[in-house]
Amino acid sequence: MTNYNGKEVLNGLLFIKSMMSVENVERQAIALRKLVNADYFLPQGVVVKKEVDSLIIENPGSIRTGKKQMLRGGISDPRNKTLMKMFNLIGIGERAGSGIPDIYQIWEDEGWKTPMVEETYNPDRTRLSLEFVKKQAIKTSDKSKR
């Protein structure tokens, strides 16, 4: 393993902190966040929109642990436990409740805009928006206007 700009590189893949790459984040966000937690008894399905500078993933159903707990991490409560087991068997996901906090940490490390998790109701729906865009620095003169 070599070092590149403070990050580890293994077999040509860039890894950030806990050995999770941005590509792994995309795969886990789709596989775990959406497929494993989707409520398939509700209308509409899982939607994945990939743009040049963003990835938006929506699924039917609300967040079972609540948004605050999901952002904090540490509790795994997948709606579709059999799907979760299948993903575990092929090496995707840990069932540690750490997926969303890991995504937030990687986006912070990369200096990208903070991910957004939104819930809507009637019908219940959850949306994860990941932008591959650097945060805008706040100018000192802008801070004094607040």
Q: Domain map of the chain by residue range?
A: 21-135
Helix (H) or strand (E) holding 60: strand 54-60
Domain 21-135 belongs to what topology? Heat Shock Protein 90 (3.30.565)
Confidence (pLDDT) at 139: 65
Which pair of tokens denotes residue 134?
């650097």
Tell which residue, 10, 38, 37, has the closest CA to residue 24.
Answer: 10
* The pLDDT value given to residue 122: 93
Residue-level pLDDT at 88: 78
pLDDT 10s digits, 21-75: 666 666 666 666 688 889 999 988 988 888 889 989 899 999 999 999 999 988 8
Statement: residue 115 has pLDDT above 80: yes
- By the 8 A CB rule, do 7 and 14 touch? yes
Q: Which of 19-33, 98-112, 113-127 has the lowest mean pLDDT?
A: 19-33
